[in-house]
Each structure stands twice: as structure tokens, then as C-alpha cells.
Chains A and B, each alone.
Chain A
Amino acid sequence: MSDFGGAPSIKVDSVSKVYAGGKRALTDVSFEVEAGSFMVLLGPSGSGKSTLIRCIAGLERVSEGTIQFGSKTVSSKGLHLKSEERELSMVFQDYALWPHMTALDNVAFALKRRALPKSQRKTQAISMLDRMGLMHLSDRYPQELSGGEQQRVALARALVARPGLMLFDEPLSNLDADLRERLRVEISTLTREVGATTLYITHDQSEAFALADYVGVLDRGRLVQLDRPEVLYSKPKTPFVARFTGLAGDLPAVVNSVESSRSVVSALDGSSWLSAHSNVPLKMGEKVRILVRAAAVKMAPLLASGVDRERETLSGTVSDVAFRGIGYEHVVQVSDGHVLSGIFSERRHSRGTAVLLSFDPDGCILFPEKSGDESLITLEDQDQSQLTDETCFEASQSIS
């Protein structure tokens, strides 16, 4: 088993990475992953998540800061433990199965570091392939396998030596939706079965939420939030995190009243108002944006609506509808021209239907208008902000 005492914890401390050409990929990234837990790093392309996982894998050197596995430092400015000495395994986006080796040889390769006799390596590799349901394909070459089969062989290769640390570099992004879901379940169960510490990067928030014990969100080389998925969803710390974790849309508004709990407030210009919450202090009259989660919006036809039109509603028109199996998702243009998408209803509302939207305050998050996506937080900030009680704000939507 691992030199780092089974599954190691990972400590990334103030890591920065600047490439030889001068391109800065990571800036002062710090976080810890508990031994045996599953952490997902989420971010768009160019956010630095690949660089970060490559630094942890030992495929890139860090420019500043340190990385520790357990108590052992594996990377710092003057120290770089080679990848092959870090006792980890990795699943690549492009699978990286060696094209001239059969599925069995690819899997058995990972056991070389265990110094087992060849026959034993083969037996273990076969049993791993069997576990993955790939036994009948063991003699095939990678190019003779489908994309999903190739990725399962890559997964078998990563799991077979039971490494303490497993890294996943967007392993599902080349697969179709159905296969992605099935493999996600396999990754989730198998890594937990092995008990490895797992670090997984993706740009897909639903994948991140489904897999992770903890999710870290990266934006332009900085870690902007690290939390449990539920916290990340309900209390995003920046508009970027809120947007990246799924929104129906956002609406401009003005703070009309500030209270410690949700309460009824009067509407601006007498037509519409919403109740929402924020994690940052807001002032009366401050311009804000309401970031709306799709799940927080309910819709009903305007005429049949039983909701009080004067309160917590917006009227709009359905501009698109898509059948999603269990119901319908709608795109609604609200009366001021803003668009909210992904609004679910079990009933179909045809294009052009006038509807009334009501909002759950828990799914409406306020950010000051001036707070850009560059609003960043450090690890210390995160700890402090977790102690802050939730404060609710009510804001009127400004009809612009």
C-alpha cells in the first residue's frame, strides 16, 4: 500500500504556478482534503483546475507554495517528488490507454509498482476487469473498444493497484450523457470502496454535485469557494460561483427593505417585488442583482393563477418550451425583457402563454450590482463567513 500510510490527506498551501512562457495558471491556492474523502474541483476551461491536478500528480512543478500528502511534502519551490514516487493513480480525459497494449496489459501495467510476480499481476488485472464487466474484452486493443469501454479500462487501471490517492482529469467529458451517468456511479462507488482519497476535476456542476464530498470552485487560477455541495448551492460566495452552479437567470433590483428574517415588503413602483437573501451586508436603496435558481421558480398561467398578483410574483411570456420526460422546462421572458430559463412545470405552457412566476426566497440570492466575478475570498475568509448567520434581504425588482 501507499508510502503515505494508506489514503493520505492532501494539503495544498499557497500554491502558485507560472508557466515558462510567463502565463500565470494558479494564484495562491490553499485547501485541505481529508484522508479518504472525495473532492471535486469545479471550474470553466482556463480556470487552472487541470494545472492544479497536474501539480498534485507531480506532472508540473509548483512556482510557489507547498503540497503535502499526509505529513510529507511532495512539492515546494525547491522540491519536487517525481510522479512515479507519489503512489497515486490517474484517469485522463483522453483515457491515455497505450495503443499497442491490450486492455489486460494496460491494467496489469499499474501493478508493476507492487513488485508482484507476473502471473499474480495478470490474475489481479483479470479480476479487476471482471469486476468492471470487461472480462470478455481483455484481449482487445484500445482502438477496438468503444469510448465508454476504454474509459472503464482506464478506471480499472487506476483502481487495480489500490492506490491511496486517485486523480481524475475530466474523465467523463468525452462520453455521451447516458454513459456518463453510468460511469459516474461506478466511479463514485468504486473509489469509496477502495477507500482512496480522490481528487476529481470537471467543468460540469451536476457531475461535481453528484460525486463530491467537497467541491472547490476555481476561477482564473484562484480558489473562490470550497464547501459541501449543498452549502455551495445555497450560499454561493460570489456571483461567479452562483452562475457556475446553475441559474435560471438574473434580474436587476433595488434593495427596498432589509430585515433579519424574511418578511413582507412593499413593492417598488407598486407592481412587483421579490424576497431574497444575501451573504453580504446590503444597504437600503442599493442596486443589486437577484440570481435565481431554476428550482426556486414556480409558474402558472396568468388568468388561472391563484397567487396574489401584488406579492412575490412577476408576470412574463413563455418564449420556449422543452419536454424533459418528467415534465416541461420553459424559457420565460419577464415583463422587463429579462429571460429566465429552465423553469419546470408538469404541465406544458405553449409559446406565447402569459404566465405568472412566483419565487422561493431560498433560491434567490442577492449580490451588489458592483460585485463582479472577481470578488475573491481567501481560506480565512471562508472560515469566517461560515460563522456568519444568514441574513435575509428583501429587494424590489427594478423595472428597467
Chain B
Amino acid sequence: MKALVTSSGPQGIVEAADGPNGHNRRVRSWRGLSEAFAATFQTVTERIGWPLFWVILVLVLILPSAAFLILAVSPHLFGQGLAWFTLSSFSSALSGVTLQGMRNSVVVGVIAAIFATLVGSFLAFGLQRTNMKGKGLFSVAIWGILLLPSYIIAVGWQVLLDRGGVLASINLFSPRLLNLFFGPAGYALILGIKGVPFAYFAMAGPISSLGSSYEEAIRTHGGGRMEVLRTLGPVLMPALFSALVVVFAESIADFGTAAVIAPNAHFPVATYNLYVALSSYPANFSEAAVIGWMLVTVVGIALAVQHHSMKRRRFATLGGKAAAARIKYVGRWGQLVNLVGFLLFFAVALGVPILGALSSSMLKPLSSMSMGHLSFFAYRGIFNVNGFGSSIVFSFKMAVLNASLAVILAAVIARRLTSKKVGVIGKLLDVTVIAAIALPGLVLAAGYIFVYNLPILQSIGLHLYGTVTVLAMAYLAGALPSSSRVLVGPMAQIQGSLLEAARVNGSGAFHSWRKAVLPLLAPSLLWAWLLTFAGTFLELPASELLAPPGVTPVSVAIVQILNKSNLYQGTALSIVALLIDLGMIVLVMMIFRTLAPKGWRRVGGRVI
């Protein structure tokens, strides 16, 4: 009893309960050591953690993008011209192909946003509010589209429609369809498909939490179906608007579709123009920077308008007092209509690209479609040709490294953003993360090329340009905003009292966090890791611009082979890369399910 009274914390209890035998002394000393380590760790992180964190943020995110954008107005600052301040790059860029590219991007972005929002809303209503069959499968398919890079969807469609493609092999080649694909329609289709998951996620929450009682209140007070639509439409407006803006921003900033379609199409878009400006010799940094400005401005305006509109009228009762929405039981005909609609969309979004790529990769060159002409020659080729195997290994390593780093940093960012004591630094972080979301990956990569190639860095002995390190930094910068976004929600839901309960029961800070918070966050951390892994493994813009000589990431290899019109090997490599990507997700999920304790696998009331 004496030990219980005098000691504080669990060690005392161990001692009092078990007596002084060897095993328990060991337990105690391990506990003591781990607590001591935790205390030291905490002190160190408190002292140098935040400064170090900001140094990382500045180096990977803020400095490259800011310097690149400043370059457009002050070339002399970076030894690129005479003027300290000039808008001449803007006046020259705001004409001709550059302006046309921007205009095209905006038009295609708007069409894609409308398409994706319509389809996303339909999917959200079907999956969230009806008893339609196959919900689980369709939900997975939406994640599939999210994970599928736009260039792979574009490649799938291209190999279907191309001269030597799948349709040609069954004598259905149509030049008109091909022309349509290599133009605004093709762009809008691919970007629209890619936008659907974003629109779906924006709409699903509000649609599922728009309590049925709002509708029932209209019906019981004499309003018919039209009145329901008229009255409740505005409640969904913020979500609808948010879906439109997010898809628009993602579409404008997309590089993958442009990388596949633009070399063959006479339809310039902003991201491809930026790429061309950088890859010309000598690189036209000022034009690239101006396009960067235009992209950031358009995306920034869209996000700002959305932010403003959400702020002006937040329908806080959504998901608040209102009871959960009831599931609508649709009859046989309703089921059929839903099913046909869903299958049609997923056939276009996933079926065509994957089947197109699969059949193209297995078809012998210039042969007609038949079982006898199918073979694995292209797949054998991938591993025979020197380099492709190493491409896969390289991208895999980078993806694992980046996912691990990004999740740790994103957790820190999310923790800070959801902290009660936000302060100036918290607000600064908030602004940085929002700005980073508005920053297209290509602009960021361009900033890296520019900043880490500056003579001043070379002169102080910092030779980062053309190294794997700079590519890793760019990957990290690209992944931080999205992985922080994934973690902010779950982090905000962690109640402070959980940690406090652990502390008052005698656990140290680190031990409390590990025991009381980490298990609750585990599924979200896992998701953030997997999303980052999948995104990095097939990442294109930074890989294309920053891969050092002699290193070819998977995405670059795919685009390079395809641009050499080697459809078979290009599609075979896409399929292999996708299988590795999805295989890794499945493997990690299975390991988590097998090894993680049940308490770690709870998401709300479900156990994953």
C-alpha cells in the first residue's frame, strides 16, 4: 500500500502489485526508460521541432513556388534580366498561344466541372440515399478513379481510338472520333472523369446528412415534390459550388491529360504551354512563370470565391440537430435505372481505359483482334528492355519514402491546424496549406527547376539540381497539402479530454498520445499513407521536370514510350504499374487488418 500511496504513475502499481521479483523490475525499468526517452524526445521536439518544421516547409514548398512566381515580375532579382520590376513578360504572354492556352484551359475546366458535378451528385444520391444494389463495389470504383492518374485514363482512351488501336483492330477505326478525342472534347471527357471523385466527395456528405425531416417538413406543410426541390436546392448550393470549384481547379492544374493529348492535338492548354516553355532551349523561365501566375490566379480566385461563399452562409444545421437521412427504397425499375446509369459511367471512366490498355498491351502489332493474336510479348519486353525494371523499383522506393515522410509532416500540420491555440503561426500555416492547394504541381516543379538551379546555390556548394533529393523534395511538397487535408478532419474530432484522461491517470505526454490518440487516428494515417504512396508512385509533373539524368520514374517512362507511338509497351507498362500500385494498397490494408489490434481499426462504429 505504501508504494501505491507514495509513487505516482503506473510504475508504482506494478511494483506494489507484483513485488520485487526480477521480471517486474525489468518491466519497471523498461517503462522508466521509455518514459525517460519520451520526455527527452518531447523536450527536443519542443525546442527544435517547430523551427525545423518551418525550415522544411520553406525549403520544399514556400521558397521554390514564391521565387518562381516573383521571377515573372522581377527578373533581375534572379539574374534573369535587367529590370527589378516589370510587367513586360505579362504583356507579351497575354497574347497568342499562351493566352489561347489559358482560355482553352478555363473553357475545358468549366465543362469538366459541370460534367463531374452532375455525375458526382447522381452517384452521391444513389449511393448515400437509396437502397440500390452494389453500393460497396461502386464506392470502391470511385476510389479507383481517384487513384488512377489522368494520363493513364487518357492513354486507355487513346489506344482504343488510335490508328493502330483496339477499334482499328476490329475494323471500327473512326478518324472523326479520333479527332474529337484529340481536341476539347477529349480533354473535357478525361478531366470530367477525373473530377467525378472530387465532386462525389464534396456532395456525398451534405446529401447524406441533409436530414429527411427537412423534406418531410415540406410535405407535411403542404409542399409537393417541386416545392421540395425548390426549397431544398439552395441548402445543397454550397456543396454544389464547392464541387464545381474543386473540379475546375483540379482540371486547370492537370498535366497528365495534356501530356498525352497535347503532342497530337492542335489544342494548346496552359499546363502544356508551361511545360513547353521550360523544355525549350534555352528554357523560357519568364514565360513559364507568367503561365504559373495565370494558373495560380485562376485557381486562387475560384477557391477564394468558394471560401467566401461558404463563409457568408454556413448551413450549420447540416449534420447538426437533424437526424440522419432515411434511405429511399427504390423499386425494381428505379434499381434498373440506377444500375444502368452507374454501369454506363464506370464503363466510360474505368472500363474503357483499363480494357483498352489491357487489350492494346496484349495485341500483336498491326494485327486484328482475335484470341490467336493476343500475347504477353509487350510484358516480356518491359522486363527485357534495360531500364523499365529499374524505373519501377525507383518509383516504388520514392513512393514509400515520400508517403512515410508526408504522413508524419501532415500529421504535425493537421495537429497544429486543429489546435485550440492557433495563434499567428497557426494562421500562417493555414494560409500556406490553402495556397499550396491552389498551386498546380507543374508550377511547383517549375519552381524547383528554377530555384535549385540558381548560381547562388551552386556558389555556396549546394548542388541540389539534378539530384534525387530535389525530386524527393518536390514529391513531398506535392503530397503535403492533400495528406494534411485527409488528416485535418479526423484530428479535429479527437477530443482533448481523451489525452487529458490518459494524463490524469498517470501517463506521460508521449505515452498518452501513443495509447489514447494514435489508435484512433491509425485508419486515417493509413489512408493518408496509401493515398500518398499511390499518388507518388505514378506522379507525372514533378517526375517529368525534375528526374535526374539516368533516372526514369515509371510515369515518365510510360509517357515517353507512348509518345514514341509504342502503344503496346506503353500500355503494358501502365498496366504493370497500376497492378503494383493497387497490389501495394491491398497488401498494406491486409497487413493492417491482420496485425493491428481491433481498437486501432475502428472508424466510427465500423471496424475495417
Chain A interfacial positions (CB closer than 8 Å to B): 20, 57-59, 82-84, 86-90, 92-101, 109-110, 112-113, 142-143, 147, 150, 157-158, 161, 167, 174
Contacts and interface: CB of A to CB of B under 8 A. Distances in A.
Contacts of A82: 219, 224
B316 to A, nearest CB: 4
Given A84-B227, A110-B221, 16 more contacts: A20-B329, A88-B220, A89-B220, A90-B221, A92-B217, A93-B213, A96-B211, A96-B322, A98-B217, A98-B231, A100-B234, A113-B222, A143-B317, A143-B320, A157-B221, A161-B222
B318 A94 contact: no
Contact of A57 (B220, B232, B235): B220
Interface residues of B, number: 29
A264 to B, nearest CB: 55
Contacts of B227: 84, 112
Given A96-B214, A142-B317, A84 B231 contact: no
Contacts of B235: 98-100
B234 A167 contact: no
Contact of B219 (A20, A84, A97, A142): A84
The residue in B216, B221, B315, B322 that gathers the most chain A C-beta atoms within 10 A of its C-beta is: B221
Contact of B216 (A90, A143, A147, A158): A90
A110 B222 contact: yes
B223 A112 contact: yes
Interface in B228-244: 231-232, 234-235
Given A98-B235, A99-B317, A100-B235, A20 B131 contact: yes
B313 interface: yes
Nearest to B313: A100
A27 B318 CA distance: 34
27 contacts: A20-B131, A57-B216, A58-B219, A59-B220, A84-B218, A84-B222, A88-B220, A92-B216, A96-B217, A96-B322, A97-B217, A97-B317, A98-B235, A99-B316, A99-B317, A100-B313, A100-B315, A101-B231, A109-B223, A109-B231, A112-B223, A113-B221, A143-B316, A143-B320, A150-B321, A157-B221, A158-B221
A96 B216 contact: yes
Contacts of B217: 90, 92, 96-98, 157
B216 A94 contact: no
Interface in B127-155: 131
B232 A98 contact: yes
Contacts of B177: none
Contacts of A20: 131, 329
Those 5 A-B pairs whose CB atoms lie nearest each other, nearest first: A113-B222, A96-B213, A83-B219, A96-B217, A90-B220
B82 interface: no
Nearest to B324: A94
Contacts of A86: 220
A59 B216 contact: yes
Contacts of B313: 100
A25 to B, nearest CB: 13
B180 interface: no
A99 B314 CA distance: 9
A83 to B, nearest CB: 4
B323 interface: yes
Nearest to B238: A100
A147 B232 CA distance: 21
A148 B589 CA distance: 47
Contacts of A57: 216, 220
B220 to A, nearest CB: 4
Nearest to B131: A20
Contacts of B318: 99
